[in-house]
Amino acid sequence: MATRKRKFWGWGYEDQGLSADEHRRLAERMSARFGVSGLTITPAPTIDQIELRKPRIAAPPALATFCTADPYERAGHTYGKSYRDIVRGLRREFPNPPDLVAFPTDEEEVIAVLEWCDTERIAAIPYGGGSSVVGGTEPPIAGDYRGVVSIDLARLDRVLEIDRRSRAARIQAGIFGPALEEQLKPHRLTLRHFPQSFEFSSLGGWIATRSGGHYATLYTHIDDFVESTRAVTPAGIVESRRVPGSGAGPSPDRMFIGSEGILGVITEAWMRLQDRPTFRAGASVMFPDFIRGAEAVRAIAQTGLYPANCRLLDPGEAQNSGASRDGSAVLVLAFESADHPLDAWMKRALECCADHGGRIPDPEAAARDATATHEGAAGAWRQAFLAGPYIHDAMVAIGMLNETFETAITWDRFADFHARIMERTTEVARRVCGAAAVTCRLTHAYPDGAAPYYTVIGPARRGSELEQWDEIKTAASDLLIELGGTITHHHAVGRDHRRWYDRQRPDGFAQALRAAKRALDPNAILNPGVLIDP
Ligand SMILES: Cc1cc2nc3c(=O)[nH]c(=O)nc-3n(C[C@H](O)[C@H](O)[C@H](O)COP(=O)(O)OP(=O)(O)OC[C@H]3O[C@@H](n4cnc5c(N)ncnc54)[C@H](O)[C@@H]3O)c2cc1C
């Protein structure tokens, strides 16, 4: 039976994406919107068009059963899925692929491949779904490594043990989102961690990057779902104790949560689970402008109601996703519970919205349908969210620059911060692209601040896409660091955010991280260049 193959250069399976007709219509829409003519579609590359450097290393016989130098695998493990990655993939440029890809089937094989890399001075890159948008899985260019092995954990894909009473499970790190939920379903349990990349990203990747899921409040990052972790490091196995909470010094889990593959390979974790929700309440609320909407989000975040969804789209985002057409900002609001009806929660949240000029276009429809999150403006936004990665790649193929960046800032600085980021990014993007649109949504909200997520779209010049994006990214990142934001709220640091992360992180902490790296990975073979220099 033929197995379905993932694209080696972009998002999804080879048979997924826009049809030729949809792609052509997208090009026409972009031509009209940005006043450019002659947008042509770059065809998807095929593996026989890719020239790869010969592998510089060969796996010893003991590892050969689960290591491969197959060109499709090497090309597929060269990049993540950012704009820069898709551009290079479509250009058929793969100058620095990993030499081998290892697919260990158990922890023993992870240990064996890591030992070999450690002894032979080979860089080892832990690889989950490869959905990094910050160069997190890309082979290093610098360093005197004899070669690079990408350690793909896709075969560690099982829920191993369920503790129903404590509502937790021991889960292998390579499992992708859909398989994880599928295996928990018979137990009426769920992790409910749904990043937009859910379909093609892994539990280990989520933990290693502190990913942000669909919970817009309270459980925003994967962090609080992690009960304990187990990781293979060149210095041995590090496993933390399963406890519901602990005050015993700095948390060993927290050392691996966000470690981005530089300290060890996370092989499994005990995760806190939820009962599957049976009660839902959803509504979409229109605001005259984004800042009024943000004030409502602040009010809701400070009530302690903790909606599962509380995403505010600025008028541009609302228009692009079809959530509104009249220039309103739209708040997509939803509560969920496995225990109790949510009418009182929703009623109070809507009062907060009304206090800040929020209006529900169709209150009866919202009340009628407890799953209103799948209808109306909320439904339109959800559809656009799911289709987003495919449209992103299609946009790049027609020569559009299409990329996002995200950050977080406290409420006291939010309005000024947002205005200045929008102004600077729009100004640079228009200068660089000739015409451009910058939009924003709040993806996560806290009692003390919010996480704004910016999207930049404009016509790129073929051949100069990377330089164009670098100029926009640098301007936006320099400013957000200068204004006190974080270089990333949930996309991680990888290689692309290093220079801003170096400015953000306290020096003493950098020294401590380097010392931890020396202790666990003394020969600095793990993901060199990410977070700190080897
Ligand atoms: C379309 C799209 C949508 C996205 N949406 C979101 C979103 O909603 N929220 C969000 O947070 N992010 C999002 N991302 C970014 C990305 O999906 C996340 O960073 C995700 O957590 C990466 O998981 P992965 O399994 O693909 O990891 P990979 O990309 O394979 O690796 C990412 C990093 O983690 C390390 N790593 C991976 N597995 C392990 C392991 N087992 N042990 C140690 N280190 C490991 C790698 O070395 C690398 O540094 C999105 C990306 C795309 C392309």
DSSP state string for 308-329? SEEEEEPHHHHHHHTS-SSS-E
What integer best gives the mean pLDDT of the chain?
95
With beta carbons less than 8 A apart as the criterion, state whether 208 and 128 touch. Answer: yes
Q: How far apart are CA 203 and CA 168, in angstroms?
A: 14
**262 within some domain:** yes
CATH number at residue 168: 3.30.465.10
Whether residue 370 is predicted with pLDDT greater than 50 in this model: the reply is no
d(CA 206, ligand 1 centre) in Å? 6
Residue with tokens 């493990």: 77
Same domain, 227 and 298: no
DSSP 337-395: ESSS--HHHHHHHHHHHHHTT-B-S-HHHHHH-TTGGGSHHHHHHHHHHHHHHHHHHHH
pLDDT at position 365 is 59
Tens digit of each residue's pLDDT (9 = 90 or more) over 45-85: 999 999 999 999 999 999 999 999 999 999 999 999 999 99
Residue with the nearest Cα to atom 44 of ligand 1?
261
Same domain, 314 and 407: yes
Same domain, 246 and 321: no
Whether residue 1 is predicted with pLDDT greater than 60 in this model: the reply is no
d(CA 204, ligand 1 centre) in Å? 8
Same domain, 441 and 472: yes
Burial class (CB in 10 A: 0-12, 13-18, 19+), 384: middle
**11 within some domain:** no
Tens digit of each residue's pLDDT (9 = 90 or more) over 173-210: 999 999 999 999 999 999 999 999 999 999 999 999 99
d(CA 407, ligand 1 centre) in Å? 17
Same domain, 296 and 429: yes
Same domain, 399 and 421: yes
What atom in ligand 1 is closest to the CA of residue 80? 29
Q: How far apart are CA 209 and CA 205, in angstroms?
A: 6
Residue with tokens 């002659």: 38
d(CA 525, ligand 1 centre) in Å? 20
**37 within some domain:** no
Residue 3 confidence class, pLDDT cut points 50, 70, 90: confident
Same domain, 248 and 370: no
Q: Over the range 471-502, which residues count as b (16 or more CB within 10 Å of their CB) and which as e?
A: bbbebbbebbbebebbbbbbbbbbbbbbebbb
Tens digit of each residue's pLDDT (9 = 90 or more) over 266-277: 999 999 999 999
Boundary residue ending a domain (275, 300, 316)? 275
Whether residue 38 is predicted with pLDDT greater than 90 in this model: the reply is no
Same domain, 370 and 427: yes
Whether residue 531 is predicted with pLDDT greater than 70 in this model: the reply is yes
Q: Which residue has the higher pLDDT, 385 or 449?
A: 449
DSSP 67-119: EE--HHHHHHTT--SSHHHHHHHHTT--SS--SEEE--SSHHHHHHHHHHHHH
Same domain, 297 and 244: no
Contact residues of ligand 1, CB 6 A cut-off: 80-81, 125-133, 136-137, 153, 173, 195-197, 201-202, 204-206, 208-209, 211-212, 260-261, 265-266, 389, 490-492, 527, 530
What's the total number of domains in the chain? 2
**432 within some domain:** yes
Which of the 8 DSSP states describes residue 442?
A: E
Residue with the nearest Cα to atom 41 of ligand 1?
204
Boundary residue ending a domain (455, 482, 509)? 482
Confidence (pTM): 0.97
Same domain, 319 and 414: yes
Query: Could you tell me what percent of the chain has a pLDDT over 90?
Result: 91
pLDDT at position 214 is 86
Tens digit of each residue's pLDDT (9 = 90 or more) over 463-486: 999 999 999 999 999 999 999 999
What atom in ligand 1 is closest to the CA of residue 203? 25
pLDDT at position 282 is 94
Whether residue 348 is predicted with pLDDT greater than 70 in this model: the reply is yes
Q: Domain containing 210: what range?
A: 162-275
Whether residue 371 is predicted with pLDDT greater than 60 in this model: the reply is no
pLDDT at position 378 is 74
Same domain, 206 and 284: no
**126 within some domain:** no
Q: How far apart are CA 525 and CA 67, in angstroms?
A: 18
**359 within some domain:** yes
Ligand 1 mutation pick, 211, 268, 517, max ligand atoms within 8 A of CB? 211
**191 within some domain:** yes
Whether residue 375 is predicted with pLDDT greater than 70 in this model: the reply is no
With beta carbons less than 8 A apart as the criterion, state whether 318 and 382 touch. Answer: no
- Token output for 219: 């459980």
Same domain, 442 and 306: yes
Boundary residue ending a domain (254, 275, 296)? 275
Whether residue 377 is predicted with pLDDT greater than 80 in this model: the reply is no
Tens digit of each residue's pLDDT (9 = 90 or more) over 4-14: 999 999 999 99
Residue with the nearest Cα to atom 22 of ligand 1?
205
Q: How far apart are CA 208 and CA 39, in angstroms?
A: 39
With beta carbons less than 8 A apart as the criterion, state whether 138 and 150 touch. Answer: no
Q: Over the range 97-111, which residues count as b (16 or more CB within 10 Å of their CB) and which as e?
A: bbbbbbbbeebebbb
- The arithmetic mean of pLDDT across residues 96-114, rounded, is 98
- The arithmetic mean of pLDDT across residues 287-305, rounded, is 98
Whether residue 322 is predicted with pLDDT greater than 50 in this model: the reply is yes
User: Which phi-psi region, left, alpha or beta, contains residue 212 (left: φ > 0; alpha: ψ -120 to 50)?
Assistant: beta
d(CA 280, ligand 1 centre) in Å? 29
**390 within some domain:** yes
pLDDT at position 366 is 57
CATH number at residue 330: 3.40.462.40
Sign of CA dihedral 361, 365, 367, 371: negative
